[in-house]
Chain A
Amino acid sequence: MRAFFDSDLWWSFTRSPVTVISAVVAFICIAGAVFATWLAPHNPFDLASLQLMDAFKPPAWEAEGDGTYLLGTDDQGRDVLSAIMYGARVSLLVGFAAVAFSTILGVSLGLLAGYLGGTVDAVLMRIADIQLTFPGILVALLVDGIVRAALPRDMHENIALFVVIFAIGISNWPQFARTVRGSTMVERNKEYVQAARVIGRSPLSIMLSHVLPNVMSPVLVIATLSLGFAILAEATLSFLGVGVPPTQPSLGTLIRIGNDFLFSGEWWITIFPGVALIVMVLSVNLLGDWLRDALNPKLR
C-alpha cells in the first residue's frame, strides 16, 4: 500500500485537480448507487409507501415543493432522488458486468490472435474488423433483438438484465481484442518469452504468466473508458424500451418515463436522471483519460 502512495501513478493523480474531482464525484455516484437501500430517503419500489397524492411534486426549492422530496416526485408519487439512486445501481451493475464480459472475451481472443498468429489471428481480426464497421450501439440493439426473438416470451422478464449485459458486452470486445493483440505481438517477440519457450513452457502458460501481465495497462484504460460507453449504451437501450425490465428501472428507463412529462411542465422527472447520467459518465471518462495519459510513458 505504501508502494502505491509512493508511485508515479499516485503522484500524477494528486497533481491533476480535474482528476481528483472526477474521482470524488465518481465515488459519490457509485457509493450512492451501491448503498441506495440504506442511503436513499425513500424506497420507490415499496408500493405500500407510495402516496398518489404526492405525485408530480416539483423539487424542494420550487414554490410547491415538499421538503421530503428533494428532487420532486414522478407521476406515481415516487421520490425522484431515490429513483435515481436505485436506477444508477442498475445502470452501474449493467455497465460493470458488460465491461467485465467484453474485457474477458476481448483479452482472451486478443491474446490468442496475437500469440498464435496465422489463421487464428486472421479469422478473429476479420470478425473484429467487420463488427467495428457498425456502431457499437447498433450491434447491441441487433444482438438484443436476436436474443429476445430466440427466447420464449415468458423468460424475457427473468433474463432481460443478462441479455442487455451480453448485448453490450459483445458489442465492445473488438476494442479490447485489437489492443491486446497488438501488445501481445510486441511481447511475444521479446526475449523473456523466447527464454520461456526454450525451456519448453506451453503456449497457454506463457500467455497467462508472461504476456498477460504485460499487456494489462492499456486494457485498464480501455475498460475505464468503456464503462462510460456501456452505461450510455444501457441507457439508450432502456430509453428505446428494449433494455432492462420496467420492474427494475435504470437511469435510461427513468429518462424515458420522464420524457412523457417534459412538455407538460414536470421537467424534473426526466432532467434529473439525465443530469445524473451525464455526471456519472463524464467523471468516469475523465478518470479514464487521465489513466491513459498517466500510463502512457510517451506523454509523460
Chain B
Amino acid sequence: MSAAAEARLAEARRADLTPMLEVEEVARYFDVSRPLLQRLMAREGRRILRAVDGISFAIPKGTTLSLVGESGCGKSTVARLAVGLYPTTRGRVLFDGQDLARARADSAQRSRMQMIFQDPYASLNPRWRVADIIAEPIRAFGLAPSRVQEAARVAELLTQVGLSPLDGAKFPHEFSGGQRQRISIARALSSNPEFLVCDEPTSALDVSVQAQILNLMKKLQARLGLTFLFISHNLAVVRQVSDRIGVMYLGKLVELAPAETLFTTPRHPYTRALMEAIPDLGMTGRVRTPVGGEVPSPISPPSGCAFHPRCPLANDRCRAEAPVMRAAGDAQVACHAVDEGRG
C-alpha cells in the first residue's frame, strides 16, 4: 500500500464518515384490534395502526437531528425504534454501521446508546435512591470495579448536571421537575454513551427550567461530542438545538432540512402551516388564519398524500398518489406541489 493511500485511509478513519444512526425505510405497525371475540361479534377486521410508515434518515456523528410533529405523528415511536425498544415491522436501523439488533446484543455497543424521557415524574423509580438510579447503568455494564469508584463516578455525574453529590442519598420525590430531569440526564450519561435519544425532554417543564435543561444539554454535547436524536413538538425549542430537522406527519417524514433552511424557507405546506400556527411573543394582537381540520387517524390515513384534506395546494394527484422525498435545494421534501413548482 502506498504512503499516499495509507494517509487517505487514516484521514477517512479520522473523519469517520459512518453515521451514528441510519434509518432505512423503517415502518412500525401496532395491532390495536379489539379482542377476538368482540371482533367476531362486531364483524370487523383487524385494526392496524401505522405509527411509523416508511421513513429514512441518517444522523452524522456529533450532530443533532430533531423530529417535530403533532401528537400521533409517530415521532416518539421513532425514538423507541432508534434504541431498539420496539422491533421494526419493516426496514432496518443501523447503529454505527452495524445492525441495531446485533449491536444491542453486545453490551459494549449497547452502552453507547442511552435515552432521556419526557415525564420527569415517571422516568425515575420512586423507590430508589438517586445514587442507585444513576448507578444502575454503571452496574449493568460493569463500568466501576469497586463501590468506591462507583460512588466517585456518581458524584462526578451529579456535579456535571448541576446537582450536589450529597443529593445522591435522597429520593426522587424530594426534587422538582427540572432537578429530576437533571437526574435522568446523569443516569443517561453514566454509561459514557455517544448517542442520546431525547424524547420530549423539556415539554413537561416550566419555561425557565426548560432553558436550564436545554443549555445543559448543549453544554454536554459540546464537551462530550454527543450525537442527539431529539424529539419535540415545539419548533422554537428544536430551532435552538438542531443541526437538521425532520417534520413528521401521520407516520411519514414530509420534510427533512438543515435547521436554518427549514426556518428560512419552509417548503412543505404542512411545515408552513405549523410555523404559522405557533403563537409567538412578538405577535401581540396579531390576527391569524390557522390551518383548518385535524390530524386524521393513523388507523385509516387518507389516500395519496396524507396531508391533502387540510392542504391549500392539494389537487387530484395529491389525493391519488403518495409523494416521495425528493431533493429541493439542500432540503428533502415529499410534496407534489413543491415538485411541480406550484408551492
How far does the alpha carbon of A1 sit from the alpha carbon of B110 in the complex, in Å?
41
Could you tell me how many residues of chain A have their Cβ less than 8 Å away from some Cβ of chain B? Answer: 14
How far does the alpha carbon of A200 sit from the alpha carbon of B133 in the complex, in Å?
15
A53 in the interface (beta carbon within 8 A): no
A213 in the interface (beta carbon within 8 A): yes
The segment from B14-22, B116-124, B211-219, B250-258 that touches chain A is B116-124
Question: In the complex, how many angstroms separate the beta carbon of B80 from the nearest chain A beta carbon?
Answer: 8
A200 touches B140 (CB 8 A): yes
Question: In the complex, how many angstroms separate the beta carbon of A149 from the nearest chain B beta carbon?
Answer: 36
Residues from chain A with Cβ under 8 Å of B84 in the complex: 198
How far does the alpha carbon of A192 sit from the alpha carbon of B123 in the complex, in Å?
4
B137 touches A199 (CB 8 A): yes
Question: In the complex, how many angstroms separate the beta carbon of A22 from the nearest chain B beta carbon?
Answer: 28
Nearest opposing residue in chain A for B109, CB measure:
A200
B83 touches A198 (CB 8 A): yes
How far does the alpha carbon of A214 sit from the alpha carbon of B107 in the complex, in Å?
27
| Residue among B118, B126, B136 making CB contact with A191, cutoff 8 Å | B118
A48 in the interface (beta carbon within 8 A): no
How far does the alpha carbon of A199 sit from the alpha carbon of B119 in the complex, in Å?
18
| Residue among A198, A201, A210 making CB contact with B115, cutoff 8 Å | A198
Which of B115, B122, B184 has the most chain A CB within a 10 Å cutoff? B122
How far does the alpha carbon of A156 sit from the alpha carbon of B123 in the complex, in Å?
53
A155 in the interface (beta carbon within 8 A): no
How far does the alpha carbon of A196 sit from the alpha carbon of B136 in the complex, in Å?
8
Question: In the complex, how many angstroms separate the beta carbon of A120 from the nearest chain B beta carbon?
Answer: 16
Tell me the A154-173 residues at the B interface (CB within 8 Å). none
Contact with B along A174-196 (1 / 0, CB 8 A): 00000000000000001110111
Question: In the complex, how many angstroms separate the beta carbon of B4 from the nearest chain A beta carbon?
Answer: 43
Nearest opposing residue in chain B for A196, CB measure:
B136
B104 in the interface (beta carbon within 8 A): yes
Question: In the complex, how many angstroms separate the beta carbon of A197 from the nearest chain B beta carbon?
Answer: 6
Question: In the complex, how many angstroms separate the beta carbon of B171 from the nearest chain A beta carbon?
Answer: 11
Question: Quick one: given A198-B85, A213-B127, A214-B127, are A192 and B114 in contact (CB under 8 Å)?
Answer: no
Residues from chain B with Cβ under 8 Å of A214 in the complex: 125-127
Nearest opposing residue in chain A for B184, CB measure:
A195
A194 touches B85 (CB 8 A): yes
B125 touches A199 (CB 8 A): no
A198 touches B113 (CB 8 A): yes
Nearest opposing residue in chain B for A192, CB measure:
B125
Residues from chain B with Cβ under 8 Å of A200 in the complex: 104, 107, 110, 140
Question: In the complex, how many angstroms separate the beta carbon of A230 from the nearest chain B beta carbon?
Answer: 28
How far does the alpha carbon of A214 sit from the alpha carbon of B127 in the complex, in Å?
7
Contact with B along A81-95 (1 / 0, CB 8 A): 000000000000000
A194 touches B124 (CB 8 A): no
How far does the alpha carbon of A213 sit from the alpha carbon of B191 in the complex, in Å?
25
Contact with A along B170-196 (1 / 0, CB 8 A): 000000000000001001100100000
B127 touches A195 (CB 8 A): no
How far does the alpha carbon of A13 sit from the alpha carbon of B117 in the complex, in Å?
37
B30 in the interface (beta carbon within 8 A): no
| Residue among B104, B124, B141 making CB contact with A192, cutoff 8 Å | B124
How far does the alpha carbon of A153 sit from the alpha carbon of B140 in the complex, in Å?
53
| Residue among B115, B141, B187 making CB contact with A194, cutoff 8 Å | B115
B122 touches A190 (CB 8 A): yes
Nearest opposing residue in chain B for A210, CB measure:
B125
A199 touches B110 (CB 8 A): yes
Which of A195, A197, A210 has the most chain B CB within a 10 Å cutoff? A195
Residues from chain B with Cβ under 8 Å of A210 in the complex: 125
Question: In the complex, how many angstroms separate the beta carbon of A50 from the nearest chain B beta carbon?
Answer: 54
Nearest opposing residue in chain B for A211, CB measure:
B125
Nearest opposing residue in chain B for A212, CB measure:
B127
Nearest opposing residue in chain A for B115, CB measure:
A198
A197 touches B85 (CB 8 A): yes
B111 in the interface (beta carbon within 8 A): yes
Question: In the complex, how many angstroms separate the beta carbon of B189 from the nearest chain A beta carbon?
Answer: 12
Question: Quick one: given A191-B123, A210-B125, are A199 and B191 in contact (CB under 8 Å)?
Answer: yes
Residues from chain B with Cβ under 8 Å of A197 in the complex: 85
How far does the alpha carbon of A47 sit from the alpha carbon of B84 in the complex, in Å?
71
Question: In the complex, how many angstroms separate the beta carbon of A119 from the nearest chain B beta carbon?
Answer: 13
Question: In the complex, how many angstroms separate the beta carbon of B86 from the nearest chain A beta carbon?
Answer: 10
Tell me the B80-138 residues at the A interface (CB within 8 Å). 80, 83-85, 104, 107, 110-111, 113-115, 117-119, 122-127, 133, 136-137
Nearest opposing residue in chain A for B191, CB measure:
A199
Question: Quick one: given A210-B125, A213-B127, are A195 and B140 in contact (CB under 8 Å)?
Answer: no
Residues from chain A with Cβ under 8 Å of B124 in the complex: 192
Nearest opposing residue in chain A for B110, CB measure:
A200
Contact with B along A277-292 (1 / 0, CB 8 A): 0000000000000000
Contact with B along A188-226 (1 / 0, CB 8 A): 001110111111110000000010011000000000000
How far does the alpha carbon of A290 sit from the alpha carbon of B126 in the complex, in Å?
23
B140 touches A201 (CB 8 A): yes
Residues from chain B with Cβ under 8 Å of A192 in the complex: 122-125, 133
Would you list the 10 A-B pairs with minimal beta carbon distance, nearest first? A191-B117, A191-B123, A213-B127, A190-B122, A192-B125, A191-B122, A198-B115, A199-B137, A200-B110, A199-B140
* B interface list, Cβ under 8 A from A: 80, 83-85, 104, 107, 110-111, 113-115, 117-119, 122-127, 133, 136-137, 140-141, 184, 187-188, 191
Name 24 A/B residue pairs within 8 A (Cβ), A-sorted.
A191-B119, A192-B122, A192-B123, A192-B124, A192-B133, A194-B80, A195-B117, A195-B187, A196-B136, A197-B85, A198-B84, A198-B85, A198-B115, A199-B110, A199-B111, A199-B114, A199-B136, A199-B140, A199-B141, A200-B107, A200-B140, A213-B127, A214-B125, A214-B126
